[in-house]
Structure 1
Amino acid sequence: MVRRLGALLAGSLIAAVALAHDHGAAKPDYAQMWQEKQDKAPRLAVAASFDADGRLWLLRAVGRQLQLSRTEAPGQPFTAPVTVNRTPELISADGEARPQLAIVGQRVYVSWTQALPQAFAGHIRLAVSADGGRSFAEPLTINDDLAPITHRFNAMLADAQGVTVAWIDKRDGQGRADYRGAAIYSARSSDGGRSFAANRKLADHSCECCRLGLAADRDGTPVVFWRHVFAPNQRDFALARLDETPRRASEDGWAIDACPHHGGALAIDAEGGRHIAWFTGAEQSPGLHYRRIDGEAMTAPLPFGNLDAQAGHPALAVHGASVHLVWREFDGRETRIVALRSTDRGQSWSAPAALAKTAGAADDPLLIAGRDALWLVWNTADDGMQLRQVTP
């Protein structure tokens, strides 16, 4: 088990260098490593969304700019791309820190993390098109603390009433050696992204670099799912509406002095049930887990995925009474996307089924809804964009 878990974590502890203590050896130049990662790493992380007319939109980072294109239907050619940010800037675009896309009528919202020259530092950015994606206004910086520190891992949710952005923020820990991790902040625009209300803190002591899950409750209120640092240093998950006190959502007790760079997934069904999926390295039950939360009741964690194949980075979506899980696995030669399906709100599940595979580098999987179905969107270096319909 130790060997298998070590292999599983080897690729996920990317952020550990930011937290490790050096005792004698020359310290790496983290700022240089950081900038090279943003500029030279493969730009495979994408965002995708269907609009109300069934057109598929695709957002990707190309160099220091974001480019948006669309197709009338899956399988048809994409339009020539439109540049979102006319002034180039460093853009974080890896699996855990990816650009975000939402389309509401003629308004197209794009949010991303602008990487700053300082190591692990960034600003949360947002640009809006009011003309159906033909052009974009100048980007706004959403975080109102402008220190060159972590404001990163943005998540976005938009509807007819406006747009909400949530992110991980380290402003509260500056100069405080006793402060655990970072914090979860959000900001809301009620005028179509032209301006934002003051930043609001949801919770202290989040993990520093795991993506956020963000979904709308039945009344439209955003719900956030994140890896938290529970005292003294257990990196399990927490959950909260933006208007409520956070609650613990997993009890793995994973104690680790680093950020695993491995966030969770959240979906909310028509009955208000919270469906969550996450990764833990806790010795008693390492790997991926699923549970449903209904009010105060929580189902027992359900392990899934092949630990020997480094199962990780889940995506989760609901479609009526059905719940769908997808995740990555690697067998030593190929990376595969594997899926599970439940037709009874997560009480029972199908057998795992492989949906796609590639031999080269690949993004994490995305599940998006559109054209009365769920779709897998998976960007790969060798085989390009793979699009698979998941539901009938």
Structure 2
Amino acid sequence: MNSVDAAGLGIGDDHPPRIMGVLNVSEESPYDPSVYDDPGEAAGYVDEELIGEGADIVDVGLESANKRFDVLSAEEELERLHIALETIESVSGDAIFSIETRYAAVADEALSKGFDMVNDICGFADPAMPTVCEDHDAAVAKMASPPDRERPGAVEETDWASRKSPEWAANADYVDQVYEALKQNGLTDKTIVDPAFGGWSEAQTLEDDRETFRRLREFRALGRPMLVSINRKNFLGEIASRETEKRLPVSLAATSMAVERGAHVIRTHDVAETRDAALIGSAFTERSSAAADGVTISQLDVTSSREFRIQLRERGIDPAFADDWQAQLLEIEGLDGDASERLTSLAAEHGAVVQPVSDARLLLMGSTTTVSDIADRLSAENDDLSAFGEKLSGVLR
């Protein structure tokens, strides 16, 4: 995992989780507590409610990214930039300032006048953005998005058949598309990846967000720190049947889980509470590494065959190797004696092991390849064990 130096602030596995507080200077922004058009009042809010509560980074938005509003042009964003610049000049606290924009010209002006990093919600749709950030030696958060400055975050609207291949497009699920969108137009050495949680298009569903969250560790294979923006999001609120104003508890629970799954920056409107939740997640995260005499050993985050395959693929190694090396330990309960004997016999044929635990339970141990082969054999046989084989295959996905 490559750490990023954001104007002296370390972001990555070797550093504490960083909290990104939000300030909006956009009158159309739907979240009123963070919206200011007076630099003095805005600076007071930043000092007291953001930095004072533990924010390491302050993300300043010039316009609302909500799809219900028209997109501002670069010229219109630049007209608002002076409020943001006057604000950060008046802030007394110590933090890194990030400009949220989709335009390289706005990023260039902001970085030239006092901002430290960029939050690009359109994922380098402006092809000049990576160069601008590199020229300023600035960190940049890159949100998964199509190469279209008008459609931030709407990854499923990308013509993947032409950008990748028809075969890839036919087989890719939503999370695959998010992952690939982050790779589009490259990554700088100081890129922080953002998987784009939230309703960025009509086609994106709450289940899409939940699946992205479940598979958050997969994005670590990109080798870059990760930012997540999940504060009070709908995909969390629906689980607990809570409206926005009552979603803080679910947001905090998800924050701890996100940090444990690999997030390094949490973007939030609830700074103090989110900071505490992130620290809990960090305290109970287990990632081993060691360094001595110029040699570094890092244990990669692999908890599933899918994560194993992605880590190999990103390093140019055949992902199929993962299935031969990823271990599976499955406890099975409820098979009768004949079925248990059949499973034991098949396991021995394929190099796996079945170990009885009690009269009703047994353990199936083997690589993903061997267990998959057993599942396929059972599924193909037209008997009482075919349904069990299909269930076994489903567990391995």
| Same fold flag (TM > 0.5) | no
Normalized against structure 2, the TM-score is what? 0.27
Normalized against structure 1, the TM-score is what? 0.27
Whose strand fraction is larger, Structure 1's or Structure 2's? 1
Of structures 1 and 2, the one scoring higher in RCO (CA 8 A, sep 6+) is: 2
Whose helix fraction is larger, Structure 1's or Structure 2's? 2
Give 1 or 2 for the bigger CA radius of gyration: 2
